[in-house]
Structure formats: C-alpha cells, structure tokens
Amino acid sequence: MASPPGAAIPSSSDTQAAANQEPPAIQLKTLLAHLSVLNDACAKDEAKVKAAQELSDNFDAILASPHYHQFLDQAMRVFVRLLQEGCRPHFIAEYNVQQVHWPTSGIGQ
C-alpha cells in the first residue's frame, strides 16, 4: 500500500512500537517480508539496506517472539545463501577523499 504524497515515513521507533503491538502471526509475516527482500536478487540496494535495518531494529522482538525458531530457520537459509554467493560488500562513503589532519601544536613548527 503506497503512502499518500506528503505522508511521513515511519521511523524505526514507530516500526518497533507497531511491531510490539502486532499479533505474533502478523509480526512474523512482516519479518519474513524483510527476509524476502534480502533474498530477492532484483531488489534495489536501498530496499535491502532498509530491510536489514528493520530486522536489526526489531531483533529483541524477534528473540521474544513465539515464532522465533520458524523465523530463524528461514533467516539462516537467506543469510547463508548471501554469504555463499561471495557478493562483494557495498560500502557507502560520504566523502570520496580520505583527509589527513595534522595537529597544529608543536609538530612541524
């Protein structure tokens, strides 16, 4: 379901609060949907990062869930496949150039 234009994007804390209020079956479906995004070779990197962040942000809820073992079974398959593929990690840098700053007190003066 698409958000209407100008609607606020929920923050991780909003997502966590909603996840804690969801019935366990719905919460499991949400978490499995995040796993399916990670498992989708056609998904954009931004979507995969968001899915990984959501899983990370909801880690405590996952551990406390009565469906933890079912989630873990599917999550391990996804994570092992990702690691076995040998995909190179993507790093996002804010700056293209590494800057070295020299202290100005006493050195070289």
Average pLDDT over residues 27-42: 90
Residue-level pLDDT at 105: 59
- The CA-atom distances, in angstroms, between 109 and each of 54, 99, 100, 101, 106 are 51, 21, 18, 15, 6
Residue-level pLDDT at 11: 47
pLDDT tens across 6-22, in order? Answer: 434 444 454 455 445 66
Cα angle for residues 44, 50, 48 (degrees, 5° grid): 35
Query: 3-class DSSP state for residue 98?
Result: coil
Identify which of 3, 74, 86, 4 has the alpha carbon closest to the alpha carbon of residue 34.
74
Instruction: Name the DSSP letter for residue 22.
Output: S
pLDDT tens across 86-108, in order? Answer: 666 666 666 666 556 566 655 55
Residue-level pLDDT at 3: 40
